[in-house]
């Protein structure tokens, strides 16, 4: 498998269920050890952490945390042990929340948010780490059309206005039109760069659950 991402690109990982999209993603962010080969970054991960947005089901909504506290966790990436988040980190968290359009919900309970709002809060948390690469694992899974559009709008703005490199796994192929620079088709242990129009062909959509 050979895959290269250029700075400022917006790339989607596509492929059938069980093809290894999430596995590839988890390898890229360091959650899985690579058995063979290497993954290289053109930035220092210690000073420029990866912004990671997990599937929202991975997080326990019963934790007594406000939206602001969750976003503040993004700033922990750059904070050493024993240093608590200060005024600068709180401001950064508030700005990140504003960027995803949810500044008004800062004091709401994280667990009380809708699926779409939760995803945008997790994007804000990733932004609070001030990343150069934003990696998202199925950010539009289980959210309605309106929320999907809102999430993609946020990601598009971050990519175009701030030059953030975005890599995401999704099954919602059609929402990528006009947004993604390229798609990477993952199947049978291979990752192949393709044009989005090729993937949007009806025959391919048959093997992408939710893609039609």
Nearer to another protein, 22 or 148 (CB): 22
State which of positions 24-63 bind another protein (CB under 8 A): 29-31, 45-46, 49-50, 52, 54, 58-60, 62-63
Q: How many CA atoms lie within 13 A of 9 on its CB side?
A: 15
Return the number of other C-beta atoms located less than 10 Å from residue 109's C-beta. Answer: 16
- Whether residue 116 contacts residue 146, with contact meaning beta carbons closer than 8 Å, is answered with yes
Determine which residue in the list 48, 76, 103, 157 makes contact with another protein, applying CB under 8 A: 76
* Widest distance between CA atoms in the chain: 55
Nearer to another protein, 53 or 176 (CB): 53
Looking at 82-90, 146-154, 182-190, 199-207, which segment touches another protein (CB under 8 A)?
82-90
In the bound complex, what is the minimum distance in angstroms from residue 12's beta carbon to another protein?
Answer: 20
State which of positions 2-31 bind another protein (CB under 8 A): 29-31
Residue 5: in which H helix or E strand, if any? none
Determine which residue in the list 79, 86, 194, 195 makes contact with another protein, applying CB under 8 A: 79
Return the number of other C-beta atoms located less than 10 Å from residue 59's C-beta. Answer: 15
Nearer to another protein, 167 or 173 (CB): 167
In the bound complex, what is the minimum distance in angstroms from residue 188's beta carbon to another protein?
Answer: 27
Residue 97 lies near another protein (rule: CB under 8 A):
no
Secondary structure (3-state) at 13: strand
Residue 65: in which H helix or E strand, if any? none
Q: How far is CA 65 from CA 47, 98, 186, in A?
A: 27, 18, 36
Residues 6 or more apart whose Cβ sits within 8 Å of residue 4:
none
Determine which residue in the list 37, 64, 178, 189 makes contact with another protein, applying CB under 8 A: 64
Which parts of this chain interact with another protein (CB under 8 A)?
Answer: 29-31, 45-46, 49-50, 52, 54, 58-60, 62-66, 69, 73, 76-77, 79, 81-85, 109, 125, 129
């Amino acid at each position: 498998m050979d895959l290269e991402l250029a700075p400022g690109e917006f790339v989607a990982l596509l492929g059938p269920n069980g093809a290894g999209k999430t596995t590839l993603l988890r390898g890229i962010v360091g959650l899985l050890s690579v058995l063979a080969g290497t993954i290289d970054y053109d930035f220092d991960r210690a000073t420029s952490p990866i912004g990671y947005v997990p599937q929202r089901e991975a997080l326990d909504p019963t934790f007594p945390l406000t939206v602001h506290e969750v976003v503040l966790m993004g700033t922990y990436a750059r904070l050493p042990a024993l240093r608590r988040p200060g005024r600068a980190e709180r401001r950064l968290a508030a700005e990140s929340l504003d960027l995803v359009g949810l500044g008004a919900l800062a004091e709401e309970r994280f667990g009380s948010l809708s699926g779409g709002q939760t995803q945008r809060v997790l994007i804000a948390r990733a932004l609070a780490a001030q990343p150069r690469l934003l990696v998202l694992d199925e950010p539009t899974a289980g959210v309605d059309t309106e929320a999907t559009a809102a999430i993609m709008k946020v990601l598009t703005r971050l990519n175009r206005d701030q030059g953030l490199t975005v890599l995401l796994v999704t099954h919602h192929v059609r929402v990528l039109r006009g947004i993604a620079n390229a798609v990477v088709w993952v199947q049978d242990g291979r990752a192949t760069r393709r044009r989005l129009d090729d993937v949007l062909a009806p025959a391919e959509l048959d093997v992408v659950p939710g893609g039609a």
